Amino acid sequence: MLRVTEIFRSIQGESTHAGRPCTFVRLTGCPMRCVWCDSEYTFSGGEHFSLESILDQVRAFGCKLVEVTGGEPLAQQKAFTLIERLCDEGYEVLVETGGYVSTEGLDRRAKVILDIKCPASGEEPRNDWSNIERLRADKDEVKFVIADENDWLYAKSVIEKYDLENRAVAVLISPAWGLVDLQQLADWVASSGLQVRMQLQLHKYIWGPEVKGV
């Protein structure tokens, strides 16, 4: 059984897959408490579903692309089995993880979108740096959520230290909603000389920042 907050079909709002039809499986619970978290409603509640029930719901939506997210999806051990089963069924599987739980043991067919927490999140000390060693340059993506200039400088230093431009399909630079001026962030990115990609969360522009399950 897995504790699930919601399963829904929408378009992918982030990453290099933005704009694609996607089924989202949002698991309940997260051991982190990022100060700007936009998914606090996933911290508790949810409903217990069997793997078969989750797979049935995913099949009914008919999307080739499936994202397993949270909360922190990998905080539930059974999530690893769910991801394996989704891969077995031929889905293109994205796993959006906050970077605290080890990705060791994750099905190699799944594509990881790995958050690296910056200082303003309040959770930077909990990054599991071993996750960087498991990134695949032809599959995975890394995401930094930027709340201020110090976060941007931190992200730059991590990108350079770990050579992330060559370890991932994309290094995503995402604004913390409402906390950083978008034009300022665009200027930092444009003048950085780094091969990174600024991204906006499409779903928030389409449906608004407060709407769940879109």
Q: Which residues bind ligand SF4 (CB under 6 A)?
A: 30, 32-34, 37, 39, 70-72, 98
| 3-state class (DSSP) for residue 1 | coil
Q: Which two tokens stand for residue 206?
A: 């389409």
The two three-digit tokens of residue 157, written as one number: 């230093």
| Cα distance between residue 167 and residue 136, in whole Å | 6
| Closer by beta carbon to ligand SF4, 22 or else 118 | 118
Find the shortest distance in angstroms from Cβ 36 to ligand SF4: 7
**Min dist. Cβ of residue 38 to ligand SF4 (A):** 7
Residue that has been written with the tokens 């949810």 in this structure: 46
Closer to ligand SF4 by Cβ: residue 17 or 98: 98
d(C-alpha 204, C-alpha 161), whole Å: 32
Residue closer to ligand SF4, measured from CB, 34 or 94: 34
- Taking CB atoms, the residue at the shortest distance from ligand SF4 is 98
**Shortest Å distance, C-beta 142 to ligand SF4:** 14
The tokens describing 129, both together, are 């740096």
